[in-house]
Amino acid sequence: MKRAPTHSYPGLNLGRRHAGADKASEVVTFGFWVFLMSDLVYFGLMFAIYITMIDAQAGGPGPHQLFDLTSIFTQTMILLTSSLTVGLAMLALKYNLPRWRIVFWFCMTLVLGICFLVLEMRDFMAMVEKGGIPQRSGFLSAFYGLVPLHGLHVAAGCLWLIVLGIQLRVFGLTDLLMSRMVRLALFWHFLDLIWIGIITIVYFGGLAYG
């Protein structure tokens, strides 16, 4: 027996309660998945470049001198929590919980995103103080080509959150905005996924092989 499909796109669906937004999301969310695939190739290549350049330190500072795992651990926890909060926002949206709960969880996500960026900037500044600038070696070029690229994505996500917040005030919770929130959540989870790659390959991999 063939069951009717309950999902019109991969990931969290808005479902029956928001039939209009759900329908509006079908094509555009699929398109966003395709975009994420393309973006993933960008990151994949940067990871590959980093791996080939771990040894290209040219006598400059390497992972052991530069990486601060305590700070990385804090950043990881912050980013993982932000994925949780964006997920809670989506659940609040899906199950028609009071509007303030949706807003609250999105605000939490934004705050955590900004905290992450601040900590990351602090890390970079500490690295620069120890001579870890991208102009120093191929290894550092690859590091600064990859990790700030992720940071740039987080910053873009934060900007997106702010714009969505303004639009929520201006337009109210329309189908269009709900559909945009679905995509924002996907994007945010994608950032998390990349970060898992970064701690594994850039930081742990760097310390193990650099």
- Contact positions vs another protein (CB under 8 A): 26-28, 30-31, 34-35, 37-39, 41-42, 45-46, 49, 52-53, 55-58, 60, 134-142, 144-145, 163, 167, 170-171, 176
CA 208 to CA 45: how far, in whole Å?
20
Smallest separation, CB 37 to another protein (Å): 6
Closer CB to another protein, residue 78 or residue 186?
186
Q: Residue 54 in contact with residue 206, Cβ under 8 Å?
A: yes
Both tokens assigned to 163: 């714009």
Evaluate whether 89 touches 106 at the Cβ level (below 8 Å): yes
CB-nearer residue toward another protein: 75 or 137: 137
Measured from the CB atom, the residue of 79 and 182 that comes closer to another protein is 182
Long-range contacts of 44-47 (CB under 8 A, 24+ apart): 46/142, 46/145, 46/146, 46/149, 47/146, 47/197, 47/201, 47/202
Least Å distance, CB 80 to another protein, is 26
- Smaller CB separation from another protein, 70 or 135: 135
Nearer to another protein, 52 or 96 (CB): 52
The residue behind tokens 């945009």 is 180
Nearest residue (CB) to another protein, 108 versus 176: 176
Secondary structure (DSSP) of 83-127:
HHHHHHHHHHHHTT--HHHHHHHHHHHHHHHHHHHHHHHHHHHHH
Question: CA 131: distance to chain centroid?
Answer: 28
Q: How far apart are CA 11 and CA 91, in angstroms?
A: 12
We find the least distance from the C-beta atom of residue 135 to another protein, in angstroms, to be 5
Supply the minimum distance, in Å, between the C-beta of residue 124 and another protein.
14
CB of 127 to another protein, least distance (A): 15
CB of 179 to another protein, least distance (A): 12
